[in-house]
């Protein structure tokens, strides 16, 4: 799969606007500022396909991209901004959970987590929800370049334990150095091809 053959399709603001489910799709989720945009840009080899550091209060859309005319990449709005008004949070939840629950062509949710920190409650809630709904997901621990190799291993093991997964079930990543990009690419291609 050629991840650099990428094209923006549309921003989706309600479930009615979802594109025809013609391809398998992979969604990318994570707390705001976790490095989701940087990860996607690195994956598709573009500097600025996805704008980095989007701010709270902005309209939140599911951003659809086609990849290699074979899959959709779906950039979900970041979560975890305490300052987002309650009303906006609940419309976010409605859109995202409705999407995750009902989209039959969704083959994997990439859950992006900051390798430097302990698992946050919202990440745990998302993973619990995905497990409960039997949705395949792939944790990616990012910003690995900010830590020594030793600390990377130690923190990754702590996150594995918190998520009750084995190391073969996640990817260590750095958008800055490209560490883990090939690993991520081949896993995502597997989800699409199988
Ligand atoms: P988003 O809000 O989840 O889309 O996060 P961004 O991609 O905008 O990243 C937030 C900040 O973290 C930006 O300043 C990025 O440059 C930085 N960042 C993202 N990924 C990495 C990484 O792998 N390594 C380092 N050192 N910084 C990163």
Reported ipTM: 0.99
pLDDT score recorded for residue 58: 57
> Which residues make beta-bridge pairs with 172?
141
**Best of 31, 52, 144, 173 to mutate for ligand 1, by most ligand atoms within 8 A of CB?**
52
Tokens of 98: 């409705």
Tokens of 51: 């704008």
Domains of the chain: 6-193 (3.40.50.300)
**Best of 29, 33, 37, 38 to mutate for ligand 1, by most ligand atoms within 8 A of CB?**
38
Three-state DSSP class for 29?
Answer: strand
Q: 10 Å Cβ neighbour count for 152?
A: 20
Please check whether residue 93 is in contact with residue 14, taking contact to mean a CB–CB distance below 8 angstroms: no
* Atom from ligand 1 closest to the CA of residue 30: 3
In sequence order, what are the residues at sequence separation of 6 or more whose Cβ sits closer than 8 angstroms to the Cβ of residue 49?
6, 8, 40, 41, 65
Tokens of 75: 């950039």
Residue 78, ligand 1, Cβ within 6 A: yes
Residue 82: pLDDT band (50, 70, 90) is low
Residue 100, ligand 1, Cβ within 6 A: no
131-159 mean pLDDT: 97
| Element (DSSP H or E) covering residue 97 | helix 86-102
pLDDT score recorded for residue 54: 53
158-178 mean pLDDT: 98
Residue 41, ligand 1, Cβ within 6 A: no
Tokens of 45: 């080899």
Residue 144: pLDDT band (50, 70, 90) is very high
Tokens 């409960």 correspond to what residue?
132
Distance 165 CA to ligand 1 centre (A): 25
More confident of the two residues 81 and 43: 43
89-117 mean pLDDT: 91
Residue 6: pLDDT band (50, 70, 90) is very high
- Structure letter (DSSP) for residue 16: G
Q: Whose CA is nearest to atom 9 of ligand 1?
A: 35
Residue 30, ligand 1, Cβ within 6 A: yes
38-63 mean pLDDT: 78
Q: Whose CA is nearest to atom 18 of ligand 1?
A: 35
pLDDT score recorded for residue 19: 97
**Best of 175, 177, 178, 184 to mutate for ligand 1, by most ligand atoms within 8 A of CB?**
175
pLDDT score recorded for residue 55: 56
pLDDT at 83 over 80: no
pLDDT at 32 over 80: yes
């Amino acid at each position: 799969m050629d991840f650099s053959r990428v094209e923006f399709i549309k921003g989706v603001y309600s479930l009615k606007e979802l594109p025809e489910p013609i391809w398998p799709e992979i969604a990318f989720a994570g707390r705001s500022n976790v490095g989701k945009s940087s990860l996607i840009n690195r994956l598709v080899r573009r500097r600025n396909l996805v704008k980095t550091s989007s701010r709270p209060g902005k309209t939140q859309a599911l951003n659809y991209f086609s990849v290699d005319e074979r899959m959709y990449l779906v950039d979900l709005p970041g979560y975890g901004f305490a300052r987002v008004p309650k009303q906006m949070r609940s419309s976010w939840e409605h859109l995202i959970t409705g999407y995750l629950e009902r989209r039959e062509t969704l083959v994997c949710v990439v859950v992006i987590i900051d390798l430097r920190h302990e698992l946050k409650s919202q990440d745990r809630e998302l993973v619990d929800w995905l497990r409960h709904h039997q949705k395949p997901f792939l944790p990616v621990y990012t910003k690995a370049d900010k830590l020594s190799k030793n600390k990377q291993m130690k923190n990754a093991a702590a996150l594995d334990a918190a998520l009750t997964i084995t190391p073969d079930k996640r990817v260590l990543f750095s958008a800055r150095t490209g560490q883990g990009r090939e690993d991520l690419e081949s896993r995502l291609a597997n989800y699409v091809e199988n």
